[in-house]
Structure 1
Amino acid sequence: MTKDSWKALWWIGLAELMALSLWFSASVIGQELLESWQLQSHYKAWLSASVPIGFVIGAFLSSYFGIADRFNPRKIFAISALSGALLNFGLVLVNSALLGMSLRILTGFALAGVYPTAVKILSQWFPKKRGLAIGILIATLTLGSALPYLVVMFFSSVEWKLVIISSSLLALTSAVIVNWVLADAPVPIKKQPFSIKLLKKVTNNKPLMLVNYGYFGHMWELYAMWTWLPIFLTASFKSQLPQISNWVIALISFSSIGVAGGIGCVIGGLIADRFGRSRLTILSMCVSAACSILIGFTFGHSMWLSVFLAIIWGIFVISDSAQFSAAVSEFADVEYVGTALTFQMCIGFLITIVSINIIPIFQNIVGWEWVFIILAIGPIFGVWSMIKFQKYELNQ
């Protein structure tokens, strides 16, 4: 890989980290927003799910029209990040729940032009051995998604609006970096005419769809874990130490999701490039499924055991994510790789809407001790799919 490729990775990763701070920017201050909008606490799940809803709509339209394969992906990223920054900033100006939720959905719509597009840009810069490169990219995504938990440690006690303003400024900086600092990859950019055949080529590609099935199982677990783990830790720790500071829980949440997840992505990329994507994804999903089954039983008991399992879960729940994208970029023809990535993420995030909202329903029925077992269903299904995919990977 050239020096320019690693330089591009640096700028793409930094831009991704900043732009994805929009994802959980409202969720971490969800209680303050619900009070401002005069909504009951059970609407918090829908506040978390509003961004995935918008992302799914945006990703579906993007994959249907082949946007990422018809236009310069760098420009798509920059415009999307700028739009997301402005939409997110709108939260400080509204007092209506309807307008607020609408802005969150539209923010998710804008992010559909950021995440999958960044993967395509990176695949252009890294034509081979891209597992580590995309792993580093997903690590920045993970850190970016968890960044509001770090920001809230400093600003929430002063004014919740500063959390929103900070994430919007980060996304705005992301747009500037991609538009004016990052260069286009040294590959020809062809403007493909619109054709529904691009999407048909994705669904007719058997190894590609096996990778997608693995990704769908992975996504059933991932964002529900990211959304509800901090709430689980808060409830568990408060039951033992009512005086525990919120910033301590925010730091643990950031460490479990952002730091541990970022480390997992980089190590996962190294392992996948050397030993194969299917092996890494199978290992990751087996460990993450085990953590989802076990962590609930620490509720109200050992804080240190909860933190330990949360960190292990944080590492393995995301360590395979980049490899599903890398596999798509390798098994999809160059003419429709952008459409394939966007389609994969569209369905994956549609699944997260269900899993995010099903957790509080079952938590009221079975309690925190048992509820995360539901999430193990996804990685177990994903393991089965990636075992079937192995023969295609070995024959490639």
Structure 2
Amino acid sequence: MVQFDYLIVGGGAAGLSLAYHMAQEPRLATKKVLLIEAEAKDRNDRTWSFWTDEPTPFDGIAAHEWRKIAFRSPGFEKEFDLGAFRYQMIRGLDYYQFVQRALADNPQFTFVRGAVESLENTADGVRVRSSAGEFAARYGFDSRPPALAQNPGKHRYLLQHFVGWEVETDTDVFDPNVVEFMDFRGPQQQQARFIYVLPFAPRKALVEYTLFSEAPLPKSEYEAAIRTYLSANLGVSDYRVTAEEVGAIPMTDHPLPARDGARIINLGTRGGRAKPSTGYAFKRIQQHSARLVAALAATGHPPRDSTGDRWQFHLFDTLLLDIMQRRGETTRDIFRELFERNPVERIFRFLDETTSWTDNLRVMNSVTPGPFMRSIAQVLRGRPGQRAPVKS
């Protein structure tokens, strides 16, 4: 059995991020790293969007970048200059190829194509069994999707699900400088539903219909909403669909452990890096990788607290999930109040979980307290809120 220092299961966003950060750390240059991935990662299977106020290692492969966003709901619409922030989009294939090129000539990395059958702790490390063979290492990093045994009597389970069309039009209809971050002007149907638009050019954009709810819709319903937006809001009847995105991101307050035993550290969604109340994950994955690598380089071990998460933001996420589950349509009002009463930079830092207690209080005081108080009561009772049945 071949012995490695570090074993990374999965070559998606989280696994490649950790490998890349390891490769950039000179103090880890003598470490042998194995990365196991079942797929070739040679196609554009997803995109990631995020906001940042700092340079990132991936600025050079950002497909697009914007300095403004718009929020729209009945009674309030505004375009925001992002100030110190910028909003970026990275295509999956560009990211895979960038990291693969960065690691290609590095002798400390070994890449194996195979499906992982088991990953387990041993007395002095970890062992993986895969279709490509068995391997051992001092530490294992697992980025496989989590397998949750749901407990709906205790935790909240929602999805952020969407269908997006990349469309081309014959006339100028999009403002390429402004991301339509959330457009809540459509019917909510007792859920949180909005349109999200990434404009690439005056005649080209990704138009996405997104929901926060417990189950996906028939695909035709997403497509009907996109058609309505294009025709009713933009006055577009002639367009071509050049690409499509379909996805569903789990949003839950179910605990996702940072570790699985002494020597296995969880990454990505498995390690709770998708923010429960928004679904954003890419930047959180990068921050997690940097934290892990800094500790490995300094001490030879992962940090005892591998994520650095702050408990109050877990509570905020739980409260919003509870509101979405009880009365999803009120989510529109909560976000309207957030954007109407706060600078956008404060909102972004709050969602990034970097705000102070003072700013947290400012954010919480900017929204109507009733829905949150009812969800606090549900948290204290130890059970999720449920929508009240309609009285006949």
Normalised by the length of structure 1, the TM-score is 0.26
More helix by share: 1
**Which protein has greater RCO, CA pairs closer than 8 Å, 6+ apart?**
1
Normalised by the length of structure 2, the TM-score is 0.26
More strand by share: 2
